[in-house]
Structure 1
Amino acid sequence: MVIIRNSSRRALITMEKLRSLGFDPSLFTGVITSGELTHQYLQRRDDAWFASLGRSCIHMTWSDRGAISLKGLGLQVVEADFILAHRTEVLGLSTGAALPMNLDELEKILHQCAAKKIPMVVANPDFVTVEARALRVMLEH
């Protein structure tokens, strides 16, 4: 059995989550997530569109549920060649820390990037996510 999940998280994180929920990982052949595919494409750069992206990015990620690591991708989080969006809660910093921002502040950054025609990679294009028993905004329309 293979788990296919629309999540900005890496496959290993999803497998750990399954283990924490009481599932035996040996029951699964593997896990693939939209976040894992994003990570692999950014790492390999064998696709022409991904190969054309630079090595610096604006990284939008999670805050309270844990920022997504860019380790192993050789990316700098600075003035950007492209935008990498895992979530719209904080800006991920090159140190691994996160700079909290509200959606309005992030939207201003996105408008500036759009004006400059900066490409954007979205690891999980959901508009909302389920959190406990509530829906939470991921990206504005």
Structure 2
Amino acid sequence: MHNGKHSLPGAEECVRYLARDRGLPLIILSNTSSPSKTTLGRLPGLGFEAKDFVGAVTSGEEAARIIRETYGRDMKDEKKKFVWFTWSPGNTNAPDPLRFLEKCGNVEPTLDPSEADFVVAHGSGCIRGAAAEDGGETPVKSMGSFIDDADLTEVDKILRQCARRNLPLICANPDLVVLYHEGGFKHMPGKIARRYESEEMEGNSVKWFGKPHASHFEACLRELGLDRSQVAHVGDSLHHDIAGANAAGVDSIFIAGGIHRGELQGEGEDSGELLLDEERLQALFKKEGHTPTHVLPMFRL
């Protein structure tokens, strides 16, 4: 639908046609670490109208609910603390992390792993502490160049301290990479969570939310009030969208011109409409181990 900054060509018209002309209920299923309300609130700025959707199910909403129920339910107790990998303050390309924190209940971020009770992989811009009581600048710790090149040097320093204390990690955004509006890729919180549960970190406990986990799709079905046979999931990631839809028994529509575009292009096909090549598609599906029900070049009419 969009690249994080504006709608993709033809997507607005496609949504209007499906929602208004066809009268189909549309719901957003997203790996964003933002709450559902925030996600719907961003739609006008991206070129869409919230009224065309019956709602949104986000990994951030589900993760915040578990944090609230597990660590932040009792407002009378001392606040539980957590190491918070999140978005940098002032980053206009990412949703405001404070909207997520508001949903988490009686908890507080800390820059010191030795006093933390758990870890949250929410964004990939910085490690963020608690807001200053005097209203001053929020303390943050650098994650180095991770978001641009996946360099884990600074991230590992914090993760190893958390691993030594066997702190559980909650992943509020399981994406590994996203295609940015500037054309390049950005590295996401899912890579931090995957690193934490790797053998290098001695396989620490990670609780995942969002696609490709079938429970995320089940939440959409409940929201829609429809049987899975009446629903199709549209997405551009074989690892998250198609794998998750297959796991949930939901038909899928793979958008080939999205994140996998570079793997499907032939030499000299760097611009313009992606030409679907059955041989390349089948080779990609075999390599990744996930096959969609249908394939389209883009989400457009």
Is the TM value for this pair above 0.5? Answer: yes
- Asked if structure 2 preserves the Cα contact closer than 8 Å seen for 1:89 and 1:100, the reply is no
Please report how far the alpha carbon of residue 88 of structure 1 lies from its aligned counterpart in structure 2 after TM superposition.
2.6
Please say if 1:81 is aligned against 2:117: yes
Please say if 1:136 is aligned against 2:136: no
Please report how far the alpha carbon of residue 3 of structure 1 lies from its aligned counterpart in structure 2 after TM superposition.
0.9
Which residue, out of 35, 40, 56, partners 2:81?
56
Please report how far the alpha carbon of residue 130 of structure 1 lies from its aligned counterpart in structure 2 after TM superposition.
2.1
Cα 1:3–1:75 shift into 2, 3 Å: same
Identify the residue that residue 216 of structure 2 maps to in structure 1.
none
Identify the residue that residue 50 of structure 1 maps to in structure 2.
none
Render the CA deviation track for 1:78-98: whole Å, top value 9, x for unaligned: 321100111232112211835
Matches within 5 A, 1:1-141: 1-45=26-70, 55-63=80-88, 64=91, 65-69=94-98, 70-72=101-103, 73-78=105-110, 79-95=115-131, 97=138, 99-101=140-142, 102=144, 103=146, 104-132=153-181, 133-138=183-188, 139-140=191-192, 141=195
What runs of 5+ residues in structure 1 fail to find an aligned partner?
A: 47-53
Render the CA deviation track for 1:51-108: whole Å, top value 9, x for unaligned: xxx8210111011235512125211223211001112321122118351411422221
CA distance in 1, matches of 2:129, 2:66: 21
Render the CA deviation track for 1:15-37: whole Å, top value 9, x for unaligned: 12212122221121111110111
CA distance in 1, matches of 2:64, 2:83: 15
Please report how far the alpha carbon of residue 39 of structure 1 lies from its aligned counterpart in structure 2 after TM superposition.
1.0
Higher strand share: 1
| Same amino acid, percent of matched pairs | 28
Deviation >4 Å, runs of 4+: none
Secondary structure of the residue aligned to 2:124 is coil
Secondary structure of the residue aligned to 2:80 is coil
Cα 1:24–1:66 shift into 2, 3 Å: closer
Secondary structure of the residue aligned to 2:28 is strand
What runs of 5+ residues in structure 2 fail to find an aligned partner?
A: 1-25, 72-78, 133-137, 147-152, 196-301
In our comparison, the structure showing a higher alpha carbon Rg is 2
RMSD: 2.2
CA distance in 1, matches of 2:48, 2:95: 22
Residue 74 of structure 1 aligns with an amino acid whose one-letter code is N
Cα 1:90–1:66 shift into 2, 3 Å: farther
More displaced 10-residue stretch of structure 1: 17-26 or 92-101: 92-101
- Asked if structure 2 preserves the Cα contact closer than 8 Å seen for 1:9 and 1:33, the reply is yes
Answer 1 or 2: higher relative contact order, Cα 8 Å, separation at least 6. Answer: 1
- Asked if structure 2 preserves the Cα contact closer than 8 Å seen for 1:88 and 1:106, the reply is no
How many residue pairs match? The answer is 134
Cα 1:98–1:13 shift into 2, 3 Å: farther
- Asked if structure 1 preserves the Cα contact closer than 8 Å seen for 2:34 and 2:95, the reply is no
